Structure 1
Amino acid sequence: MHALNPNGSGAPPLATGQNGTTPHAVDAPNGLSTSAPAPQPSGSPMLTAGPLLNYKRMSNELTENPVWHGSVLIVLTPGQIQPELQLKCLGRIGPGNGDGALPTGPSDTHGTQTFRGERLYEDPTKLFFRFEIRAPFQEFEAKWEYSITPELQQQSGGAITPKHFIVPSKAQSMRILFHSCNGFSVGTDMATWQGPNLWHDVLRQHDEQPFHVMIGGGDQIYNDGVRVDGPLKQWTDVGNPHKRRNYPFGEQLRADCDDYYYKNYVDWYTTEPFRTANAQIAQLNIWDDHDIIDGFGSYTDHFMRCAVFRGIGGVAQKYYLLFQHHIAPPPSTFTTDAPKTTQAVDGTTVADPVQSKNTYVLKETHEDPSFIIGNRPGPYVEEKSRSLFCQLGARIAFLGIDARTERTRHQINYPDTYDLIFNRVNSALSANKNIKHLVLLLGVPIAYPRLQWLENIFQSPLIGPIKFLNKRFGFAGGLFNHFDGNIDLLDDLDDHYTAHQHKPERKELVLKLQELSKQHSVRVTILGGDVHLAAVGRFYSKPSLNIKPEHDFRYMPNVISSAITNKPPPAAVANLLARRNKIHHLDHETDETLLEIFDKDPGLIKKPTNGGNGVSKKTADVNHATMPSRNYAIIAESHAGGAIVSGGATNGAAPVEATGTSPANQNGKKFNPRHALHAGEENAGTTHPAASGVTKTGLCGTYGLDITLRVEITPSDKEGKTDGYGFSVPGLDASAYAGQGTNW
């Protein structure tokens, strides 16, 4: 550990390259300790978790020499150490094999860069180091290797071996893995749902054709056990709602929760094969409720403002920032026995001398440009929201909206946060005309069946007598949550954009996206998780407007991929949602509905089969829209050449106009928008060329995307084998609408 200089700086020296240069001199760290550093134990530190690889952003996007920026995190037991990371390019990857690399000359590899670790956080039991790394994009898809010295021993045994990751060529956009709900809800039958098996399939796909980035859509970890077998059990067991609301969150309870969240992160992030994926596929994450605790933000306001919720919000954010973003947390979090911490000052929690004792926290001197930071703290977390915007290779931009920090039952984000986000994205798209696709992460689906009728039942006076019996006698205990006494599913319904109280905000967001798409001729594809099943929703122009899909700025698919690890809902729930797959009208120009992509259940020969080879049916024969099975998604450009080609017209199969003339609806059949709206949706499912997750279909033009849902066949298979369901998204040429009004 570095000795502090008289002004409190504990900054390590700058990283140096092979030739003595400073690879990240612009990003030089400058650490300030909130107190004297923790006493150092004798002996060498041991690796507790990591290495974890993150992607941050591209720089120099508009030059001939763009640069990949990322970070690597390691977590150690305390001790005297100054780790370094060596990074070198091994050369061109072998065709179709992420593990292979062809030799290249020194002009390609740029030598070896050395980065010294920055101490992010340290207390008497744990030590976090970050390496900010950067790699110049090559003319080819390149394999990079990083190793950490001195050689660290893992607590589980053995030393850290060199790790590898793949960076696309200058002409490529990134191949994306999208996942969500990577953990287990309380009460899951672990005999049936045996661990994170689908990560085996992720690594197989990565080996066949490498992923450049993996987007975590929320619930990367489940911390709900804190109220069952953790320090919040005593609070949860308080039967009187008034006493529960007024329960203090003092320093001892905070420290106990801090220890629980830290250990839960370490346990989960060292679980294979998730651990291996974290070290070689760069993460890009946004959090959701289970990263904090189930339903956080969606309970009643007076209950959400109780001390315990505010306290665990701060503790959860601390470890979310460290493990998932590799940035230093605030020096303190909320406690009731430190009055200064109970309200934010300058957008953050005031430092608490008790929490700062024997603790070092890096004071970040700059925010990474990938963050879009809110103007003011959230209502229940005393910190500002952190949304993400960055470029994913040559032609794809990514926007991840933090929809949890500012969330209440009646809002998802502050209006001024939307202003910050859209100002940033509009500015970036205006400056960079190479961007042809915006991948938007919302966490919770936005094009999804309405469940307002179920909300009405749960909130109706008929539930009142059952609530009374539950409070007095425990009647129907499984129906109610342990926090505010409401129906347990109500917080999940309140989370949805389609919940009645969120509908105005939802509509305004979609209209903003339409305007952005039209103005910049950029296709928007939305990612959403949370609901523990797979589906594909779409917004699109009403067929009567007679707009071709490659010109339809309203066409926005919502890829719903959830969960990669958690158990799916019962088949009856998925079938009910499919029956609610109505054609909804956002406004006079925009319709929405789910695509019927599931031509058969995974592992079965065809839909009406009753199973075979140990594989069971998952859905009703009439359900082609929702799939209750663990899954993840793959997103990649559909153009085989990977080169920039001018013009917005599609190639490959001809596009199909959204006018009722789709081949699937000819021969006098009534047009059904649940079926194909364009060529990329024809034969959507297991027979679509994109179903493999590897083939570049070329179906939807130079700027189109191929999308694959990889769906688990059976949870009893520990190798996590999957079936693929594919469709393609057309690029957008909205030049015909430049300067036109919104009613196009």
Structure 2
Amino acid sequence: MTAEFGAARLGPILYYRGYDDGVLKLAALVLLPIGEAPKTLRADGTDHDPSCLREIGRNAIWRFDFTLPEGAGGYSYGGEVYPVQTELTDDLRIAFLSCNGEEEGDLDRDEDERNAMWARMCESHKKAPFALLLQGGDQIYADEATQGHPLSDQWPDKVERPHSAADLEDLADHLRQRFAERYVQALFGESPAWIMSRVPTLAIWDDHDICDGWGSLYRSRTYSEVGQCLFRVAREMYLLFQHAATEADIPDLFLDASGTSLSWERGLPGVQFLAPDLRAERGRRRVMGANGWSATQAMSPGETHTFVISSVPLLGPRLSLVERFMLVIPWMQKYEDDLRDQWQSRAHREEWARMLKQALKWRQRAPVTVLSGEIHLATRAEMGSADSRIHQLVASGIAHRAPPKGYARSLGTLAGLGDAPVKGYPIRIHPLPGQRHRYTAERNFLELKRSQGRWSAIWHLEDSGATPSLALD
């Protein structure tokens, strides 16, 4: 029998909905024991009524929808005031993060150690407020959520068949509560909750928000009844906790009204954010399906700058060389799905070139910077020449501990070979400002800053501190 997800009083967490004619559109999520009414949320002189999105275990999840005009100081919930940055037309600061957890034992980690970089982000916000928090994938690590239920305990190594629809629904209930535990840790730890109650968030998902390697595993695993149940619940929980949304909200929040692809785009004055969904339609030989590509091609670049969130790095080293070694070295074959997850896999090379060409089309309209996570390292890359250059900034591992420095150096050596899947537009991996090596093995998050109309980036590294500023042209 599944252990029940215990009652808690948590929130609010802010979500960015849009900006229109000087008005910031927001949602706030709170979690309360079933039967307990939310406190009063007051914004711009008005009290707002919540809607109950769903119940999980002994808790109900509620959402408030509200707006803040430019110049408003923030909102209050239960009498506590939460300042929000609403001056968005001139200078601006945005934070970007990814990989908020670890594959094993994440729920048992010491909170202060786990959220040390979150605490540093909070301190940075107190000095100069962030207006938006972009989350680039792996906001939770749900890999252990399948444990503890007879149908999924050994999945994906062993695929069990449910005896009835009731058995499958029992699994869904188990998974729902285990996912909720991880989202509570990810969103409502002291430091994450503090900043996310004051800075609205926008998120794209990646594999660990479902399970390690989702879509790069064999179809016999992902298309089994257990695999599809896992995906259904993971998607439901992603919508709920990372977007404060349900199925009914999809046409308003995502570009594909059917919800097959959860790609989205949003804007702030003078800047656009594009987020293709690289996970929902993924298979071993594709990154996006027809719905994802239709959504991506419909995206509009910004007037002065466009940030593209790619949950796996778009500009990377020639991983196809490593994949060739796997064919002849048996002990390396267990890492096949990890490499299949990358744009640079030989299985995705044509699709990778297609995406690079799409980014170059956007670059014809405005400067383009790709934001990526996933690799538990910090790095940067460039594609093209000075007059058509695309930057990529990788900030990966706000909570995931860094891999050994030797791994980072080996990857840097591989990156030195270079690649040019689009003729005339070579890709080059560069060290962060102030760093010697192409990949930095430290936990980190990224600060994006607009000052006098020009954008720059600073990595906040756990041991080395803040890097010098990198201009984004």
TM-score, normalized by length of structure 2?
Answer: 0.91
Distance 2:462 2:305 in 1: 28
Distance 1:261 1:416 in 2: 26
> Residue 260 in 1 paired to residue 136 in 2?
no
Amino acid at match of 2:262: R
> Residue 425 in 1 paired to residue 300 in 2?
yes
Gaps (5+ residues) in structure 2? Answer: 1-5
Contact 1:143 1:165 in 2 (8 A): yes
Q: 1:515 aligns with which of 346, 349, 361?
A: 361
Q: Deviations over 1:325-376 (max 9, x none)?
A: 01124xxxxxxxxxxxxxxxxxxxxxxxxxxxxxxxxx55x832x421265x
Deviation at 1:569, TM superposition (A): 1.4
> Residue 304 in 1 paired to residue 222 in 2?
yes
> Residue 148 in 1 paired to residue 31 in 2?
no
Deviation at 1:235, TM superposition (A): 3.8
Q: 2:126 aligns with which of 207, 211, 215?
A: 207
Q: Secondary structure at the match of 1:441?
A: strand
Contact 1:536 1:594 in 2 (8 A): yes
Contact 2:433 2:470 in 1 (8 A): no
- Residue equivalent to 1:450: 318
Distance 1:193 1:712 in 2: 14
Q: Secondary structure at the match of 1:324?
A: helix
Distance 2:57 2:209 in 1: 25
Amino acid at match of 1:508: R
> Residue 529 in 1 paired to residue 404 in 2?
no
> Residue 282 in 1 paired to residue 204 in 2?
no
CA gap of 1:326–1:568, structure 2 versus 1, over 3 A, is same
> Residue 493 in 1 paired to residue 339 in 2?
yes
- Residue equivalent to 1:371: 254
CA gap of 1:328–1:585, structure 2 versus 1, over 3 A, is closer
Amino acid at match of 1:588: K
> Residue 540 in 1 paired to residue 395 in 2?
no
Q: 1:628 aligns with which of 441, 445, 449?
A: 441
Amino acid at match of 2:40: E
Structure 1 outlier segments of 4+, above 3 Å: 187-193, 232-239, 245-249
CA gap of 1:232–1:124, structure 2 versus 1, over 3 A, is closer
> Residue 77 in 1 paired to residue 33 in 2?
yes
CA gap of 1:46–1:73, structure 2 versus 1, over 3 A, is same
Q: Secondary structure at the match of 2:145?
A: helix
Q: How many residues align?
A: 463
Percent same amino acid among aligned pairs?
A: 23
CA gap of 1:294–1:124, structure 2 versus 1, over 3 A, is closer
> Residue 560 in 1 paired to residue 388 in 2?
no
Q: Secondary structure at the match of 1:79?
A: coil
Q: Deviations over 1:502-558 (max 9, x none)?
A: 11111111112212321x2x11100000000000011113xxxxxxx3xx23x1111
CA gap of 1:449–1:232, structure 2 versus 1, over 3 A, is farther
Deviation at 1:234, TM superposition (A): 6.6
- Residue equivalent to 1:705: 455
Distance 2:40 2:194 in 1: 21
Q: 1:134 aligns with which of 64, 67, 90?
A: 67
Q: Deviations over 1:627-651 (max 9, x none)?
A: 0110000111142xxxxxxxxxxxx
Q: Which has the higher contact order (CA 8 A, sep 6+)?
A: 2
CA gap of 1:202–1:583, structure 2 versus 1, over 3 A, is same
Alignment of 1:384-399 (within 5 A): 384-392=260-268, 394-399=269-274
Q: Which has the larger radius of gyration?
A: 1
Q: Deviations over 1:66-101 (max 9, x none)?
A: 21111000111111536431014xxxxxxxxxxxxx
Contact 2:256 2:291 in 1 (8 A): no
Amino acid at match of 1:632: F
Contact 1:598 1:624 in 2 (8 A): no
Distance 1:123 1:572 in 2: 43
Of 415-424 and 494-503, the range deviating more from structure 2: 415-424
Deviation at 1:321, TM superposition (A): 1.0
Q: 1:506 aligns with which of 352, 362, 368?
A: 352
CA gap of 1:598–1:571, structure 2 versus 1, over 3 A, is farther
Q: Secondary structure at the match of 2:288?
A: coil
Alignment of 1:37-52 (within 5 A): 48-52=9-13
Distance 1:390 1:705 in 2: 18
Deviation at 1:270, TM superposition (A): 2.3
CA gap of 1:500–1:124, structure 2 versus 1, over 3 A, is closer
- Residue equivalent to 1:321: 239
- Residue equivalent to 1:587: 422
| Greater per-residue helix proportion | 2
> Residue 54 in 1 paired to residue 15 in 2?
yes
Q: Secondary structure at the match of 2:344?
A: coil
Contact 1:598 1:626 in 2 (8 A): no
Distance 2:291 2:256 in 1: 11
Q: Secondary structure at the match of 2:211?
A: coil
Amino acid at match of 2:369: T
- Residue equivalent to 1:648: none
Distance 2:168 2:142 in 1: 20
RMSD: 2.6
Alignment of 1:464-503 (within 5 A): 487=334, 489-503=335-349
TM-score, normalized by length of structure 1?
Answer: 0.59
